[in-house]
Amino acid sequence: MQTVHGSGFSFQAPAAWAIVRRSNSIAAESGPVDRLEVLRFTLEKPYRPELFAAVSRELDSVAGRLAGQLSGRVAESTTSDVAGRKVRSYRIDYGPGKTQEIAFVLDGRNEFQVLCRRAAAAADATCAQLFSTFALG
């Protein structure tokens, strides 16, 4: 495993995967499908945990639009914990046999989109590792 550090976050990725850095994201990838990525955005207003219900409805809509852009569908939506934060997570099935899992981690004025792309038939162990090792700071 390798620890991947970005602006205000880190996560674990398989050691053999290539690291790709961009201005607002960092990814680890292997081949044409397998990809772990964290994108960081600045929110207009600070997020507070008491806004979770309202934000969840907005994120459900965002996930639906994202699925549409991929010509796919939201196959699962859940509330879970990532980096000690209550988050909305989604699994989007799209294309011929691809799955993208994404969690929206909100922290103050920061939005982190934590995503894992894999073949739908592949085990989700790498995705589970991404979400369990993602950390703020």
Query: Quick one: 76 exposed, middle or buried, by C-beta within 10 A (0-12, 13-18, 19+)?
Result: exposed
82 contacts 103 by C-beta, under 8 angstroms = yes
pTM for this prediction: 0.94
pLDDT for 132 equals 97
Q: What is the mean pLDDT of residues 37-50?
A: 96
So where are the chain's domains? 2-136
Instruction: Tell me the pLDDT band of 113, cut-offs 50, 70 and 90.
Output: very high
- Mean pLDDT of the chain, nearest integer: 96
Q: What is the pLDDT of residues 118-136, one digit of tens each?
A: 999 999 999 999 999 999 9
How far apart CA 56 and CA 13 sit, in angstroms, is 28
pLDDT for 130 equals 97
121 φ, ψ (degrees, to nearest 5): -80, -10
pLDDT for 11 equals 98
Q: Which fold has domain 2-136?
A: Protein Transport Mog1p; Chain A (3.40.1000)
How far apart CA 8 and CA 67 sit, in angstroms, is 27
132 φ, ψ (degrees, to nearest 5): -80, -20
